[in-house]
Structure 1
Amino acid sequence: MAENRHGLRIAENTPLDTAVLERMIADPEDLYLVWPLAEFPFSHEQWRCELDPATGARSFLVYGEEECPVGHGALAPVRGDRDSVMVRFLYITPELRSRGAGRESLSLLERCAKETMGARRLVLKVRTYNERAMNCYGKFGFREYSREDTLVMMEKEIL
């Protein structure tokens, strides 16, 4: 379990428990922002397929002071690019939004990607209509490198 200076910590969600994700991301609007292609009601099969450890994907729960998860993030290798890891499905509970929890979670995920997956670069996808997430990623050092309609690809070099 990795922890940062503000008290958030991440723990790998293994064996993969999609029920905790369903409880946490219960709001259909939040689910859409986290993953626009996600089925509603929540599809455990769809999430298990996307977070399948056999593909190299790693799901992490974010914990605060309490033992209830306050967020989620996933890391996945990028095919054909040994130095890059994709950040996926970042979610922070509404109570912690706009308080630095997203950046703290990204910091923990970055450290894990670097130390355990050998990443030198993080990439992610975000939609233009998810302004809060785009701002968070920008403040964390991500820069846009590609855009198609509402889909924005962002990257960050890891030092």
Structure 2
Amino acid sequence: MQDYSHGLRIVENIPLDTVVLERMIADPDDLHLVWPQAEYPFNHQQWRAELDPANGTVSFLVYTEDECPVGHGALAPVCGDRDSVMVRFLYISPELRSRGAGRELLSLLEKRAKETMGVSRLILKVRTYNERAMNCYGKFGFREYSREGTLLMMEKEVL
């Protein structure tokens, strides 16, 4: 995997801490890009329901080398498809955007999905108005396989 030299690491968000997410994703526009259905102000109950480990979802916090939380990502099972995992709720702090940190996060999530879940495909949803994210995903190897209005479904084979 490519090293993007940010020194990011992911840590399972156990026990599930939504307060750190609220602090990171404080901007309403960012919250909308991460999850268009998210309520603003931040609704902890809504996020706990979506990230509930009882449903098989694994939430990860992203940290820099100096232990600052700078992002989030989650891996969720895909109903009826044991070979795939859904990448959800991706967020990178503004100061790290457009500098390879998103691809580094995706690389870390892909590695975790492959090693601990044994999947061969990652899928994700992105809105067409989130051009920065679409570009990041494309550079990481995701390809569109379905489109409905502004919603794109993208996939990447895990090697």
TM-score using structure 1 length: 0.96
Question: Which residues of 2 match residues 119-138 of structure 1 at below 5 A?
Answer: 119-138=119-138
Shift of 1:38: 0.0
Could you tell me how far apart the structure 2 residues matched to 1:77 and 1:43 are?
A: 23
In the TM superposition, structure 1's runs of 4+ consecutive aligned residues that sit over 6 Å from their partners are none
* C-alpha distance in structure 2 between counterparts of 1:153 and 1:113, whole Å: 18
Q: 1:2-41, aligned counterparts within 5 Å?
A: 6=5, 7-41=7-41
Residue equivalent to 2:114: 114
Q: Is the contact between residue 8 and residue 64 of structure 2 (CA under 8 Å) also seen in structure 1?
A: yes
Secondary structure, aligned partner of 1:26: coil
Task: State how far apart, in whole Å, the 2-side matches of 1:30 and 1:66 are.
Answer: 24
Cα drift, residue 87 of structure 1: 0.2
What is the deviation of 1:127? 0.1
For residues 6-64 of structure 1, what are the alpha-carbon distances to aligned partners after superposition, in whole Å with 9 as ceiling and x for unaligned? 21110000000000000000000000000000000000000000000000000001111
Whether 1:153 and 2:153 are equivalent positions in the alignment is yes
Normalising to structure 2: TM-score of the pair?
0.96
**Structure 2 CA distance, aligned partners of 1:92 and 1:149?**
25
Q: Secondary structure at the match of 1:22?
A: helix
Q: 2:63 aligned with 1:69, yes or no?
A: no
* Match of residue 42 from structure 1: 42
Deviation at 1:128, TM superposition (A): 0.1
In 1, the alpha carbon distance for the partners of 2:102 and 2:41 equals 25
- Deviations 1:51-106, CA, capped at 9 Å, x for gaps: 00000000001111221211000000100000000000000000000000000000
Q: Distance in 2 between matches of 1:44 and 1:79?
A: 25
Native 8 Å contact 2:9 2:64 kept in 1 = yes
Calculate percent identity across the aligned residue pairs. Answer: 81
Structure 1: segments with no counterpart, 5+ residues: none
Contact 2:127 2:152 in 1 (8 A): yes
Give the corresponding residue for 1:78: 78
Unaligned runs of 5+ in 2: none
- Cα distance in 2 between the residues matched to 1:99 and 1:65: 16
RMSD over aligned Cα atoms: 0.8
